[in-house]
Amino acid sequence: MKSLLSILLYSLIFLPLQAQVLLNGTVESGGETLPGANVFLKGTSLQTVTDQDGAFTLSAVPQGDYVLQVFFSGKKTYATDLTVRPDEELIQLRIELEEISGELSQIIVNGAYADAYGMRRLGAVEGTAIYEAKKNEVIQLNNITANLATNNTRQIYAKVPGLNIYESDGAGLQLGIGARGLDPNRTSHFNVRQNGYDISADALGYPESYYTPAAEGVDRIEVVRGAASLQYGTQFGGLLNFVMKEGPEDKKLHTVLRNTVGSYGFLNTFSSVGGQAGKWNYYGFFQYKRGDGWRENSEFDSKMAYTALSYETNDGFRVKLEYTMMDYLARQAGGLTDALFEQNPRQSIRSRNWFKVNWNLLATHLDYKFNQQLKLNFRSFGLIGGRDALGNLGRIDRLDDDLERNLFVDDFSNFGSELRLIYNYRLGEQDNAFLIGGRYYKGFTDRKQGLGPAGDNADFHFLNPDNLEDADYDFPGRNISFFAENVFNLTDKISLTPGVRFESIHTAAAGYYSGSTLVPDPVTGFARDSTFQVFEELDRRRSFVFGGLGLSYKPRENHELYANFSQNYRSINFNDIRVNNPNLVVDENIQDERGYNFDLGVRGNQDRKFNYDVSLFYLKYQDRIGAILRTDPESFRIYRYRTNVADAYSMGLEAFGEMDLFRILEWNQKYRLNLFTNLSVIDARYQSSEERVLEGNRVELVPPFSIRSGLTFGLGAFNMTYQYSHVAEHFTDASNAVRTPSAVEGIIPAYQVMDLSMSYLYKFVKLEASVNNLTNQYYFTRRAAGYPGPGIIPADGRTFFLTMELNF
């Protein structure tokens, strides 16, 4: 360890000077230049794309031996050995690509082709993580044509089947996705990470994501279904990991300037810098966006910044520091009743509701490669942040009386560390991999709820801070876990991957809550309100072990049959312990949820013509937490009651397929025409419930059928994508209510949405344009019980956006 620190200190003070060479060239075919060709040095991060004249530049190439590869759709992949000598300053190349004749190698099928359409899958082992036999998708944001300025979820996640998406935030400030019957609210059923570390409010007690990374600064998004619980946490949904961009290793300074204007006063500016200087790599961006919103009373103002600095030595040691800041203020238009939505979905009858978020994330990464077999990763991370919600949370079928508003203030202070060690070893004739790791997490949330000022300004202060009218609580939590997985390659075609995880969880609550109840007046005998205040301390400790098993069979190259079983667990969160909401009552004896995920599927690709993943799944949910309607026996008021409503299951089919039509039909391969479709068919129902009326009911927020399809046309540096989405009618509560006066419960009617996006690259200038909700459909995906409602939250109608990007 002492020698390792000596190397680090010496490297930090005396950066070695290394000869670096400029590599220039042009890519041609049949006497014509090829814009948009991918040029890269195999096994490195040095890569680029040819400009409009077919020219490319790789700067600061260190001395050494390389394999230079060039890929262009419809042409034979070019590969040649390249030696960079210390006495050279410039290498000039002219590369001629031939028409395809014969099979391509596996690395090109799994690499360049898959990335060209914005979708690939994780390898069996990547870095210090195991993904063998796990259902997963990787979204490559640089290779999709979509509206990144607004983090358009419908477009970005279009190729991930089985997702239910909340489309109630047209600015892209918060992400809301669920899978297989899990609530999409703030993506709380996924373990949400950025570069491998947690970014949600409290990963243990309040796993809601108030921060969503700017898509313009994200390199890729990794989605791993329920089996991720063995390595990343216990959530039923699995893992959602945003991998941020890094500075290009072939440039000392690379600058990107993106400016977007759109409908309803939308303005987005995104500026980034990055590059490589010797052994240092740096990247950072700043994003500012504002808009008036499609609905009345829905303006927003957002600022986001990210910076990362890493240093890597020649002997496999790498350290990286990161800081992320997000700060935004948004007016929330509130919900609508069914009648108001049918009358005019753009209207708002709440003008005094505001939402404010401030997020600060810090992280350090340390990677060390002891040798070819043994790798270590250590990451530490922390969050200092908060979110404030101010407004009228009363029923939406009641007028806003302009009195004092409800104010909710949460402050988060979290810290965690995670250590991973992966060892590649040989057993008999087969290579295997063993992963072991541990995690420590400590969270603390200070939650206050009381009356805020009247009026309609964004004034986030309590009227009585020393004696809050509703609640004042501290929520400390601690989590220690250990996990292990092993890939046993039994033969060249069959692998078995068992795994196990140990969890020790401690959650607590200390504070008071206030309320009122009806009591008989001793004089008149009539019922009257009586207020009360209760102090309490809650403490819950539990430890358990759960496991999983994966099986993979590869009958031939690039095709796989996979199966995976994994147990899951979800702790009750702070909202399930104590919150005062006039639209919701929580069961004091609510319990944690348990269950498992099972996947059986087949996936692969064929000669760069067809890419597919079709699977069956079964998700079992024991003691599922949900909301049912009850009637107060004294006041006869109907209210929502949140409790462990029943056991439940969700089973169905998830299918994805895409094909290059021009290649299949053997037409002119100068053009690209890619068709993709993903669909899901799900049956999710309640069973074994004390509430007999629920048995056999459909689980809420589970569309029984959804399909998303798209067509991408490309010619050189021009791309155009059309997308279509259809989501079937589904319910929003366990009772399967069709419509209620409060509009909190009811159906989500079936809806269809179309989007059109295009981009064109000319040298260092890129132009993008998009039309979201092409046919101006009026629809909604959400009925909110609290913020940003209550009631129906309409999705945005037709909006236009135009982006100019400059690369230097």
Residue 110 has pLDDT above 60, yes or no: no
Q: How confident is the model at residue 354 (pLDDT cuts 50, 70, 90)?
A: very high
Residue 106 has pLDDT above 80, yes or no: no
Tell me whether residue 619 is in a domain: yes
Task: Tell me the two tokens of residue 83.
Answer: 């030696």
In this prediction, residue 629 carries a pLDDT of 73
In this prediction, residue 576 carries a pLDDT of 65
| Rg value, the chain, Cα | 27
Tell me whether residue 172 is in a domain: no
Q: CA–CA separation, 529 vs 97, rounded Å? A: 83
Q: How many domains does the chain have?
A: 2
Q: Rounded to 5, what percent of the chain is helix, strand, coil?
A: 5, 60, 35
Residue 3 has pLDDT above 70, yes or no: no
Q: How confident is the model at residue 178 (pLDDT cuts 50, 70, 90)?
A: very high
What is the CATH classification number for the domain harbouring 637? 2.40.170.20
Mean pLDDT across the stretch 628-651? 77
In this prediction, residue 81 carries a pLDDT of 84
Q: In Å, how far are 422, 495, 565 from 425, measured between CA atoms?
A: 10, 14, 25
Tell me whether residue 602 is in a domain: yes
In this prediction, residue 715 carries a pLDDT of 87
Q: Do 563 and 597 meet the contact criterion of CB atoms below 8 Å apart?
A: no
In this prediction, residue 101 carries a pLDDT of 40
Q: Sort strands 254-262 and 266-277 into parallel, antiparallel or unpaired.
A: antiparallel
Domain final residue, candidates 37, 69, 100? 100
In terms of pLDDT, which residue wins out, 105 or 131?
131
In this prediction, residue 114 carries a pLDDT of 38
In this prediction, residue 105 carries a pLDDT of 28
Say which DSSP state 808 is in: -
258-301 pLDDT per residue, tens: 999 999 999 999 999 999 999 999 999 999 999 999 999 999 99
Q: Do 435 and 129 meet the contact criterion of CB atoms below 8 Å apart?
A: yes
Q: CA–CA separation, 2 vs 597, rounded Å? A: 45
Q: How confident is the model at residue 669 (pLDDT cuts 50, 70, 90)?
A: low
Q: How confident is the model at residue 378 (pLDDT cuts 50, 70, 90)?
A: very high
Pick from 197, 194, 195: nearest CA to 175: 194
Q: CA–CA separation, 606 vs 609, rounded Å? A: 6
Residue 521 has pLDDT above 60, yes or no: no
What is the CATH classification number for the domain harbouring 89? 2.60.40.10
Q: In Å, how far are 196, 312, 356, 530, 757 from 583, measured between CA atoms?
A: 36, 54, 22, 20, 40
Return all residues near 163 (Cβ < 8 A) that are at least 6 apart. 157, 177, 178, 179
| Window from 20-29, 171-180, 516-525, 625-634 with minimum mean pLDDT | 516-525
Question: Which residue is it, tokens 């992949």?
Answer: 77
In this prediction, residue 539 carries a pLDDT of 86
Q: What is the mean pLDDT of the chain?
A: 87
In this prediction, residue 699 carries a pLDDT of 92
Domain final residue, candidates 100, 121, 136? 100
Residue 358 has pLDDT above 60, yes or no: yes
Question: Which residue is it, tokens 């302009």?
Answer: 402
| Window from 464-473, 508-517, 643-652, 690-699 with minimum mean pLDDT | 508-517
Q: Do 24 and 84 meet the contact criterion of CB atoms below 8 Å apart?
A: no
The Cβ of residue 101 has, within 10 Å, a number of other Cβ atoms equal to 6
6-21 pLDDT per residue, tens: 433 334 333 333 445 7
Return all residues near 316 (Cβ < 8 A) that are at least 6 apart. 367, 368, 369, 370
Q: CA–CA separation, 200 vs 784, rounded Å? A: 20
In this prediction, residue 520 carries a pLDDT of 56
Q: Do 706 and 680 meet the contact criterion of CB atoms below 8 Å apart?
A: yes
In this prediction, residue 102 carries a pLDDT of 34
To the nearest whole percent, how much of the chain has pLDDT over 90? 60
Tell me whether residue 445 is in a domain: yes
Q: Do 35 and 76 meet the contact criterion of CB atoms below 8 Å apart?
A: no
Domain final residue, candidates 50, 77, 100? 100
In this prediction, residue 9 carries a pLDDT of 37
CA atoms within 13 A on the CB side of 522: 0
Q: Do 87 and 20 meet the contact criterion of CB atoms below 8 Å apart?
A: no
711-728 pLDDT per residue, tens: 999 888 899 999 999 999
In this prediction, residue 11 carries a pLDDT of 40
Q: Is 66 left (phi over 0), alpha (psi -120 to 50) or beta?
A: beta
In terms of pLDDT, which residue wins out, 312 or 518?
312
User: Which residue pairs, CB below 8 angstroms and at least 24 apart, start in 161-166?
Assistant: 161/613, 161/654, 161/655, 161/656, 161/678, 161/679, 161/680, 161/708, 162/617, 162/652, 162/654, 162/680, 162/682, 162/706, 164/701, 164/702, 164/703, 164/706, 164/727, 164/781, 165/781, 166/781, 166/782
Tell me whether residue 216 is in a domain: no
Q: CA–CA separation, 454 vs 128, rounded Å? A: 53
In this prediction, residue 43 carries a pLDDT of 59
Q: In Å, how far are 225, 358, 561 from 760, measured between CA atoms?
A: 34, 36, 39
| Window from 65-79, 325-339, 363-377, 478-492 with minimum mean pLDDT | 65-79
DSSP assignment of 382-444 equals EEEEEEEEEE--S-TTS------EEEEEEEEEEEEEEEEEEEEEEETTEEEEEEEEEEEEEEE
Task: Name the 3-class secondary structure at 361.
Answer: strand
In this prediction, residue 233 carries a pLDDT of 86
Q: How confident is the model at residue 99 (pLDDT cuts 50, 70, 90)?
A: low
Show the CA angle centred on residue 190, arms to residues 225 and 390, nearest 5°.
Answer: 160
Return all residues near 632 (Cβ < 8 A) that are at least 6 apart. 638, 639
Q: Record the pTM.
A: 0.85
Give the dihedral of Cα atoms 787, 788, 793, 795; nearest 10 deg. -140
Q: How confident is the model at residue 516 (pLDDT cuts 50, 70, 90)?
A: low
Q: In Å, how far are 291, 561, 722 from 263, measured between CA atoms?
A: 9, 46, 20
Q: Do 663 and 609 meet the contact criterion of CB atoms below 8 Å apart?
A: yes
Task: Name the 3-class secondary structure at 244.
Answer: strand
To the nearest whole percent, how much of the chain has pLDDT over 70? 89
In this prediction, residue 475 carries a pLDDT of 92
Pick from 586, 449, 574, 415: nearest CA to 507: 574
Q: Do 639 and 630 meet the contact criterion of CB atoms below 8 Å apart?
A: yes
588-611 pLDDT per residue, tens: 778 888 999 999 999 998 876 889
Tell me whether residue 211 is in a domain: no
Tell me whether residue 678 is in a domain: yes
Q: Do 478 and 506 meet the contact criterion of CB atoms below 8 Å apart?
A: yes
45-92 pLDDT per residue, tens: 577 878 767 888 887 677 777 888 887 755 777 888 888 887 777 888
Q: What does the chain come to in residues?
A: 808
Give the dihedral of Cα atoms 396, 397, 403, 405; nearest 10 deg. -20
Tell me whether residue 639 is in a domain: yes
Task: Tell me the two tokens of residue 28.
Answer: 């041609």
In this prediction, residue 771 carries a pLDDT of 97
* Structural domain containing residue 30: 19-100
In this prediction, residue 39 carries a pLDDT of 86
